[in-house]
Amino acid sequence: MTTILSITPWGNSHGIRLSRELMLEMGISPDTPLEALVLAKGRLELRARPSRLTLAEKLQRYDPLLHGGELMADAPAGHEFGANP
């Protein structure tokens, strides 16, 4: 898809307005974080970045069988912090 965009003043910066059709084609929504990469003079690439999960979303995806348990399940060697001498 090719479209012509214009740069317009927006406060102390400038903005590019994306059409709904372009956003649908890119698979993004208004809250999608974008990464802008300057490829060369006059060439800009926009990449959708995955949004960071909230704590509630992380907890919802937590599976105790997959993520739980002791990291190092071996018996203490006696040099661990808090181990009895």
Q: What is the pTM of this model?
A: 0.53
Q: Which domain holds residue 45?
A: 7-67
Residue 40 within any structural domain of the chain:
yes
Residue 24 within any structural domain of the chain:
yes
Residue 74 within any structural domain of the chain:
no
Residue 28 within any structural domain of the chain:
yes
65: its two tokens = 């069988």
| Domain count along the chain | 1
Residue 57 within any structural domain of the chain:
yes
Helix (H) / strand (E) containing 44: strand 43-48
Residue 30 within any structural domain of the chain:
yes
CATH number (domain holding residue 34): 2.10.260.10
Quick check: 48 and 28 in contact, CB under 8 A? yes
Pairing of strands 34-40, 43-48: antiparallel
Residue 49 within any structural domain of the chain:
yes
Residue 84 within any structural domain of the chain:
no
Distances, alpha carbon 68 to alpha carbons 16, 24, 73, 77, in Å: 45, 38, 12, 22
pLDDT tens-place values along the chain, 85 residues long: 888 999 999 999 999 999 999 999 999 999 899 999 999 999 999 999 877 888 998 889 888 888 776 666 666 666 767 666 5
48: buried, middle or exposed (CB in 10 Å: 19+, 13-18, 0-12)? middle
